[in-house]
Chains A and B, each alone.
Chain A
Amino acid sequence: MLIHAPILAIAVPLLGAFSLLGLAYLSRTLRNIWACLISAFTSAMAVAVAIRAFTEGVVVYTLGAASPTESVTAGGFPIRIVLVVDGLGAFMGLIAALAGVVALVYYFQYLKEEEGKSLGLSLLLLLWAGILGLVYTGDLFNFFVFLEITSIAACALIGYRTWESRPPEAAFKTMAMYTLGGLLVLISVGILYGEYDALNIAYLSKAITGSLLDKLALGLLLGGLLMKAGAVPAHMWAPDAYGEAPATATIVLVANTQAAIYAILRVVFTLFGGALAAPGIGWLIASLGITTVLVAVLMAVVQRHLGRLVAYGAVSQLGYMLLAVGVGAVARGGFGEVALTGGIFHMINDAASVGLLFFVVGAVRRATGSVDLLSLGGLGHTLRWEAGFFLLGALALAGIPPLNGFASKFLIYESTFRASPILAALALLASILLLAVVVRAFQGAFLGPKVREASPAPRGMLVAMGILALVIVVFGLFPGFFIERIVSPAVQAVLTGREAYLAAVLGG
């Protein structure tokens, strides 16, 4: 069965998402057990794929062939749809598995039944399936389809609470941006198909010559993916979406956004890594990254809605990842490798710290019914655990040693400095500003005299926060161990793995 792990990791949550709604009509206990089974199975499959990809190299799974390893037909032309998992895809699968499991643990006690619990659960699984598909697929059109699955599931998840006025507004904005981005990706898929008669990423990567049309396709792909990632100037949807989505969903939404960063890496280094490996693309991405960091941090300063404040913090972290990707694409080796290590390690750190902060925001909203910093205060008296978790997540977000955010940000600063000292100085400045912002938020919400009664979060939610807090501390204390085991294979897959990727799919 393990040989079928890549497709099972996508198919099981996809089927589970729909069967769950049927089961919910029968019995809620049955629904909860079913959701737990599905997520346990899915994450086990994601981990199994990751272990195989880390130990044996690129995993190829062919759909519709007599055996899953027959990826090419006679003549060396890949006509079937393939799933290809290299070190990077496996790493993203692990992030998605972590986000999905933690979100589910948090989920059961966070939403009440009348708040659309079954619906949210189903959409969460659908989004999960979309993310896993996005990072595992080796086919460009499938990539578009999974992109749209994540878009639709994410927007439905943001806006399904139609009895409130703000979530549908955020969802409409997000949907417009996602759809537009998806259509840009589709045009570029069309251009590449028209030029080379193929949709297989490995085959296209070999065939691409770097013509004017290829440059156009690269531009459209990057534009669409940057919209999906929420880079400035297309960042307007991101704080709305993160701020208004149910707290349990935001960690999966963050993983979804990181899947867009994954896609940018895949496009720049694998698909166009042969013919169009110009450093100019790297500078473009890096400058967009630093703009995103600065704009997001400055916007975070003026927020009084706790959720939106954390959301701007999340957008700024995405900027750091883009900066790292850009610097990596400028150098492609040397300090570029350091940058990519930092950027890819930062993905899992960001998922943990931003996820933890959103979980605390959700607990605060559940306990007090408000997230307005002007009306909150003194919550530390009653919500002791939440206060501790918020402080931990906030310090990790701002990159304070010895937490995990410091480990990855330090690598980003170091490599960016060697590419351009000004960019590094700006990134460092933004980080200090972010620290001021989150400390102010902590002080505003949790310190001071007790102003209102608040009931502490139930145990299930605290367990979910505890798992993320553990990730933050352990990754911060032993960064070398994790970089060597899970980050380094991903970096190698990006930088030097293109040949192995092509060879695994096309043979020889």
Chain B
Amino acid sequence: MGNMPFVVSMILVMVGFLTLITRRNLIKLAIGISIIEMGVNLFLVSLGYVKGGIAPIYTYAPPGAKEMVFPTPQALTLTAIVIGLATTALMLAFAVVIYRHRGTLDAEKIRELRG
């Protein structure tokens, strides 16, 4: 069972890729990328987990606690989440602008830039 988080995160990444391949709606493409992002974030945070470990805040640790989880992956995940927020927001903003110009979100119909 120890590998379960990794399996789930890779399933999330696969689901995201499948979304990118099969969907044509720009918003759904952004959702697909977001799902991949969630998968990667889950992967990162589960890298640092120690079974039975407590939150890595030294001054708040209860007296009997033995192990803490790794703090670095949590810092990485936080940063990755913030970056993911920025990229998703930017993509959705572009999707809104494209919709205003064309009246559609279908990637197949938005083909002004081809070839």
Residues of B76-94 at the interface with A, using a CB-CB cut-off of 8 Å, are 76, 79-80, 83, 86-87, 90-91, 94
Distance between B21 CB and nearest chain A CB, rounded to angstroms? 12
Contact check, A176 vs B33: say whether CB atoms are below 8 A apart. yes
**In the bound complex, how far is the Cα of B98 from the Cα of A182, in angstroms?**
24
Chain B residue contacts of A463, Cβ below 8 A: none
* CB of A162 closer than 8 Å to a CB of B: yes
| Chain B, Cβ-Cβ closest to A189 | B76
| Inter-chain contacts of A176 with B (CB < 8 A) | 20, 29, 33, 91
Cα of A159 to Cα of B110 in the assembled complex, Å: 15
CB atoms of B47 and A194 under 8 A apart: yes
User: Contact residue range for chain A?
Assistant: 35 or more
Complex: A104 Cα to B101 Cα, angstroms: 30
A165 to B91 alpha-carbon distance, docked (Å)? 15
The reply to whether B76 and A169 form a contact with Cβ atoms under 8 Å apart is no
Whether the Cβ atoms of A168 and B94 lie closer than 8 Å is: yes
The A contact surface, by secondary structure, is: helix
- Taking a contact as CB atoms under 8 Å apart, the answer to whether A145 and B90 are in contact is no
B28 to chain A, nearest CB (A): 12
Question: In the complex, what's the smallest C-beta–C-beta distance from B107 to chain A, in angstroms?
Answer: 9
| Chain A min CB distance to B11 (Å) | 14
A214 at the interface (CB under 8 A from B): no
Q: Are A172 and B26 in contact (CB under 8 A)?
A: yes
If A169-B113, A244-B113, A302-B115 touch, whether A187 touches B43 (CB-CB below 8 Å) is yes
How far does the alpha carbon of A172 sit from the alpha carbon of B111 in the complex, in Å?
12
The answer to whether the Cβ of B69 comes within 8 Å of any Cβ in the partner chain is no
> Is A186 among interface residues, defined by CB-CB distance under 8 A?
yes
Contacting residues, chain B, for A108 (C-beta < 8 A) = none
Q: How far is the CA of A199 from the CA of B90 in the complex (A)?
A: 28
Taking CB as reference atom, which chain B residue is nearest A141? Answer: B76
In chain A between 112 and 160, which residues have their CB closer than 8 angstroms to a CB of chain B?
141, 144-145, 148, 151-152, 155-156, 159
The yes or no answer to A40 lying at the interface (CB within 8 A) is no
* Contact (Cβ within 8 A) A186 B80: yes
- Contacts A145-B79, A299-B115 given: A172-B95 contact, CB under 8 Å? yes
Q: A170 an interface residue at 8 Å Cβ cutoff?
A: yes
Partner of B40, one of A148, A151, A186, A240: A186
B44 touches A179 (CB 8 A): no
B112 contacts the other chain (CB 8 A)? yes
Please determine whether A180 and B33 come into contact, CB atoms closer than 8 angstroms: yes
In this complex, what residue of A is CB-closest to B70?
A197
Residues of A within 8 A of B43 (CB): 187, 190
Residue with the highest number of chain A CB atoms closer than 10 Å, among B43, B73, B90, B112: B90
Structural contact, A175 and B91, CB atoms closer than 8 A = yes
Give the complex CA separation of A180 and B20 in angstroms: 10
Report the Cα distance A116→B90, complex, angstroms: 17
Residue of A nearest to B47 (CB): A194
A31 CB to nearest chain B CB (Å): 24
In the bound complex, CA of A45 to CA of B11 (Å): 46
Question: Residue B94 contacts which of A144, A172, A180, A186 (CB distance < 8 angstroms)?
Answer: A172
Enumerate chain A residues within 8 angstroms of B47, measured Cβ to Cβ: 190, 193-194
Cβ-defined contact, B86 with A152, below 8 A: yes
Distance from A223 Cβ to chain B, minimum over Cβ atoms (Å): 12
Q: A151-B87, A172-B94, A190-B43 are in contact. Are A183 and B115 (CB under 8 A)?
A: no
Contact A179 B91 (CB under 8 A): yes
Q: What's the Cα separation between A144 and B37 when bound, in Å? A: 14
CA distance A168 to B99 in the complex (A): 10
Residues in chain A near residue B40, CB distance under 8 A? 183, 186-187, 190
Residues of chain B with a CB closer than 8 A to A171's CB: 94
Q: Is A166 an interface residue (CB 8 A)?
A: yes
User: When A190-B44, A193-B47 are in contact, do A159 and B102 touch as well, CB less than 8 Å?
Assistant: no
Asked if B94 and A175 sit within 8 Å, CB to CB, the answer is yes
A179 to B80 CA separation, bound complex (whole angstroms): 11
A303 to B114, CA, bound (A): 10
In the complex, B97 has a CB within 8 A of chain A: yes
**Alpha-carbon distance A151/B13, docked complex (angstroms):** 21
Can you offer 30 A-B residue contacts whose CB atoms are under 8 A?
Answer: A144-B80, A148-B83, A148-B87, A165-B98, A166-B113, A168-B94, A168-B98, A168-B101, A169-B110, A169-B112, A172-B95, A172-B98, A175-B87, A175-B90, A175-B94, A176-B20, A176-B91, A179-B33, A179-B91, A183-B33, A186-B40, A186-B80, A187-B43, A190-B40, A190-B43, A190-B73, A193-B76, A240-B113, A299-B115, A303-B115
A-B complex: 10 closest residue pairs judged by Cβ atoms: A165-B101, A172-B94, A168-B97, A194-B47, A162-B97, A148-B83, A240-B113, A168-B94, A179-B87, A190-B44
Interface residues of B (CB under 8 A from A): 13, 20, 26, 29, 33, 36-37, 40, 43-44, 47, 72-73, 76, 79-80, 83, 86-87, 90-91, 94-95, 97-98, 101-102, 110, 112-113, 115
12 new A-B contacts at CB < 8 Å, known A175-B94, A176-B20, A182-B83: A141-B79, A152-B86, A152-B90, A168-B98, A169-B113, A171-B94, A172-B91, A172-B98, A176-B29, A193-B47, A193-B72, A303-B115
